[in-house]
Amino acid sequence: MKIETKYHGEYELQQQQIIHFAQGIPGFSEEKRFVLLPLEDTPFVILQSVATPALGFAMIDPFLYFPDYDFELDDASIEQLELSSAKEVAVYVILTVADPFDQTTANLQAPIVLNQQKRFGKQVILTNTPYQTKHRLFPEKTAAK
């Protein structure tokens, strides 16, 4: 099937690429089907809505920029995502892309957790955590100013 995307134009999509978000994403509860599209030659990916071309979230694997990032997934999320092994899990965080780019931030308080095998996804809101919605990707650039 072909879909229109925010950053990739028209994209040929295979049914098995679709990730199902049973409850949508907070603020976008009607959006249930997404696909991960890599941004060439970067560590970034786009979580693109299958239904809404203008809806695409820039994301990264948080461990590339925040190697000490750590959280425990609650039992309800594990059950909803039908996770049985850590090998099934992929974690991403949504970026707020800034201009200039070195001011870009990552939302570590609400990671996107995926079951890669079953193609289920959920944005998990972490509570009782030191993580916030805006962690700079390049903190050294801020310190240098």
Q: What is the rounded distance in angstroms from the CA atom of residue 83 to the CA atom of residue 88?
A: 7
Q: What is the rounded distance in angstroms from the CA atom of residue 21 to the CA atom of residue 133?
A: 21
SS3 call for 64: helix
pLDDT 10s per residue in the chain (145 long)?
Answer: 999 998 899 999 999 999 999 999 999 999 999 999 999 899 999 999 999 999 999 999 999 999 999 999 999 999 999 999 989 999 999 999 999 999 999 999 999 999 999 999 999 999 999 999 999 998 876 554 4
89 strand-pairing partners: 115
SS3 call for 110: coil
Going from N- to C-terminal start, the domains of the chain cover 2-144
Report the CATH superfamily, name and number, of domain 2-144. Answer: BH3618-like (2.30.290.10)
